[in-house]
Chains A and B, each alone.
Chain A
Amino acid sequence: MTVAIINSGGANLGSVQRAVDKIGYKAIITREIKDISDSTHVIIPGVGSAYNVMRSLKKTNLIQTIKSLSQPVLGICIGMQILFEFSDEGKVDCLGLIPGSVERFKSLDHLKVPQMGWNKVSFNNSLSEFNNYYYFANSYFNPINQFTIAQSQYGVSFTAAIKYKNFIGCQFHPEKSSLAGSKFLKNFLQS
């Protein structure tokens, strides 16, 4: 088994690699098309903005590579947001691998943006063993839809995790979510 972490320029690459390492698997951080295509599992981290991550993927010619992947792919935070069709952040067209889009939390009623900290996540019934607190740091969210597999509340209900075909996304940071995050990542790596 080989895990490829796509180097999209974000700063949490090392943290994701460490988290995979602690579970007992080896992951490489890479921009090479062959490394990514040949791996059994692909992780797209992403910190910063959807605009910056899309720009980085374009620059490194990885858009088509990601679109053609058939193995399990996990997008984390911005890495999840760019799996959708569109992000309001920088008004940028994204990969379009999962139907839907991403919008900004509205700063109403003392709701502070970004959402920063640990929030309770409820998974669909069949995945309820993963219900726990996870760490979030985001200003944008995907509204609940038919592909949502876990949700959370921040002023509104929003997608905490999503699955469509072989593409999985989580808005939280499993690599920073202690034991709960490690369990979630392990489940992905064993899928």
Chain B
Amino acid sequence: MLTKRIIPCLDVRDDEVVKGIQFRNHEYVGSITNLAQRYSNDGADELVFYDIGASTSDSTVKKSWVSKVADVIDIPFCVAGGIKTLEDAEEILNLGADKISINTPAIENPKLITELSNEFGSQCVVIGMDIKIEDKKNYVYMKTGSEITSQSSNKLASEWVKQVQELGAGEIVINSMNKDGMRDGYSIDLLNELGDICDIPMIASGGAGNINHFIDVFTSTKVDGALAASIFHKQIYSINDIKSGLSANNINIRL
């Protein structure tokens, strides 16, 4: 059977990898290609790159680093940030990315999901959802790359999950903004609520802090993969540590 995926997430700004806490106060982490290579060698199943400057400053993703990443790794990777048109997506895929992830542009123009899916196949169309809990309801946020632009789309997460599937998305990343960078565990309730209505692959994001959080998310929810940034960037755990721990707990993992 298909293995569960461990996916390091690299936030890219000005051609380097950075990381913030709850989407704020970003610090320098390292060079894009060095980190990509390190994670790939260490057993990452896939990598995700978020160009966090792209969507907020109204530019398209700066693309030169995408082909450098493709040169140094031979596992799949996804690029997110500022992809608004078929042409933007095509350029990134042609540079060697396997998937593109869209968030704000999908909210502003849902038809884009269908157009991308028809053109490139649903397998490369990932919808990223940044979700914040407010008054016990889960709202989808947009323009989350900077705290100044971050705002609620007023869409309920459950409605948006249903809608993007109908529009042709191939995968959904559920990012809990309340958990981002906190390292106190994935948002299990949110992932269960949304997992029940999701027939396409779903990836958990936000909150990974130790091996038990990974075990918990794969045993308590139906997610297909787990994204993590801080714990890998800070070298608290290697990817291999996490995967060995999961395997020891009978979770199906590629080792």
Contacts and interface: CB of A to CB of B under 8 A. Distances in A.
Interface string A108-137: 001011111111100000000000010111
B96 A118 contact: no
Given A14-B94, A22-B74, A117 B225 contact: yes
A92 to B, nearest CB: 14
Which of the four size classes fits the interface of chain A?
35 or more
Which of the four size classes fits the interface of chain B?
35 or more
A25 B112 CA distance: 38
Interface stretch (A35-43, A95-103, A176-184): A176-184
B1 A176 contact: no
Interface string B177-205: 00000000000000000000011111000
A15 B200 CA distance: 25
Given A135-B76, A176-B75, A49 B121 contact: yes
A115 B200 CA distance: 9
B124 interface: yes
B247 interface: no
Contacts of B222: 110
Contacts of A117: 2-5, 45-46, 201, 224-225
A47 B121 contact: yes
B215 to A, nearest CB: 18
B1 A11 contact: no
A11 B201 contact: no
A12 B93 CA distance: 7
Nearest to A12: B98
Nearest to B126: A116
A135 B75 contact: yes
A61 interface: no
B90 interface: yes
A31 interface: no
A30 interface: no
Nearest to A176: B76
A2 interface: no
A5 to B, nearest CB: 14
Contact of A11 (B76, B90, B224): B90
Contacts of A112: 198-202, 224
Contact of A153 (B1, B5, B224, B254): B1
Interface of B: 1-5, 40, 45-46, 67, 70-71, 74-76, 90, 93-96, 98, 119-124, 170-171, 198-202, 222, 224-225, 254
27 contacts: A11-B90, A13-B94, A47-B123, A49-B121, A110-B222, A112-B200, A113-B199, A114-B122, A114-B123, A114-B170, A114-B201, A116-B201, A117-B3, A117-B5, A118-B2, A118-B3, A118-B5, A119-B1, A119-B3, A120-B1, A133-B3, A137-B98, A137-B123, A139-B123, A173-B76, A176-B75, A179-B74
A-B pairs, top 7 by smallest CB distance, nearest first, are A11-B93, A137-B123, A133-B254, A48-B121, A118-B254, A176-B76, A116-B201
